[in-house]
Amino acid sequence: MSLKEEILSYAFTTFNTTADYLFEKFPEYAVLRHKRNNKWYGLVMSVNYNQLGLKGTGKVDILVAKAPPELVAMLKHLDGYLPAYHMNKEHWVTIKLDGTVEKNKILQLLHDSFLMTR
């Protein structure tokens, strides 16, 4: 199972969230949001390395999650983390799903994002 699939499975088993695929142009982009208020707590997508300002060819799976601004400021200087892709860069962070960041850290950030947005 890919890390992307594990994240979607975690969201379902932990929060009873089924991913929404809202973008006709990007049918593989999975939005994770609360059932009660529809607020997003995660976005899983596959983007080109150059769209993230990175060298390389092809695509990389990423998760965009909400976090406190002080944590975002710290994380974006570590390997595997980047400024938010298409979200508020002060309150959201992009996490590469290429094995650079440990799965348990990714799931904890997703969990915290869920709690922050409910």
- Averaged pLDDT for residues 93-113: 97
Give CA–CA dist 78/42, Å, rounded. Answer: 20
Pick one of 3.30.70.1450, 3.40.190.10, 3.40.50.300, 3.90.1150.30 as the CATH number of 3-117. 3.90.1150.30
Q: What residues does each domain of the chain span?
A: 3-117
Is residue 86's pLDDT more than 90? Answer: no
What 3-state DSSP class applies to 8? helix
Q: What is the pLDDT of residues 4-19, one digit of tens each?
A: 999 999 999 999 999 9
Burial category of 57 from C-beta neighbours within 10 Å (exposed 0-12, middle 13-18, buried 19 and up)? exposed
Percent of the chain clearing pLDDT 70 (strictly above): 100
- What pTM value is reported for the model? 0.94
Q: What is the pLDDT of residues 40-54, one digit of tens each?
A: 999 999 999 999 999
Is residue 61's pLDDT more than 90? Answer: yes
- Phi, psi (rounded to 5 degrees) for 100: -65, -40
